[in-house]
Amino acid sequence: MNGERVRPLRADARRNRDKLLTVAASSFAVAGAGVSLEGIAREAGVGIGTLYRHFPTRESLVLAAYWHEVERLCHTADELLGTLPPDRALREWMGRLTRYGITKRGMAEALTAATSAEGVALPHAYAQVVGALGRLLDAGVAAGTVRGDVSAEDMILALAGLWRLKESEEGQAQARRLIDLLMDGMRAIPSSPRP
């Protein structure tokens, strides 16, 4: 029947779904698209039937794991703004976004396969990331600690190069240095008359 309300998941079903998404995101990040769905179910502590009940295809699991990770990352922007000054929240979140990009290379392969099979584009995820970064930038501008002439899209482009770094101690140290460099460039400076 059209217009039927979708019932919310029971608490145990929601926990199982969340465990599956967490394990799947980690597994796809490490092993790429070829990871065993049975292995994901086993590591999450559920049967393969439970996995298929929540995610009928491999592609639906990949996409759901990706959305889950993006939503968690974007949600941390607001958490950071609630606990840190805006410029420090921005710095911390850029570090998290960079670590996310570096560690999710395997997920990129799985995501490419899933989006082609499902005919799905990912503008919603990009818009969420831009929105989270925009909130951080706006808070910094309002506090007078971050310059106001750089957009969230500018920052995404600047950070995208960091995702090419290796997932190693050296890569992490280089990422910290480059984020510090970006933050130095983002700091608000007293207004001076333009020539």
The answer to whether the beta carbons of residues 102 and 30 sit under 8 Å apart is: no
Residue among 89, 86, 80 nearest 139 (CA) = 86
pLDDT at 122: 62
The CA–CA distances, whole Å, from 62 to 2, 107, 124, 129, 157 equal 28, 8, 15, 18, 25
pLDDT at 194: 45
Question: Could you tell me the two tokens for 20?
Answer: 């599956």
- Angle at which helix 86-103 crosses helix 152-160, to 10 degrees, equals 40
Distance CA 122, CA 68 (A): 13
Q: Which residue ranges in the chain fall short of pLDDT 50? A: 1-4, 192-195
pLDDT at 29: 80
pLDDT at 7: 56
Distance CA 155, CA 133 (A): 8
pLDDT at 191: 55
* Chain center to CA of 69: 5
pLDDT at 59: 85
pTM: 0.76
pLDDT at 2: 44
In this predicted model, what pLDDT tens digit does every residue of 104-155 receive, in sequence order?
766 766 677 666 655 555 667 788 999 999 999 999 999 999 999 999 999 9
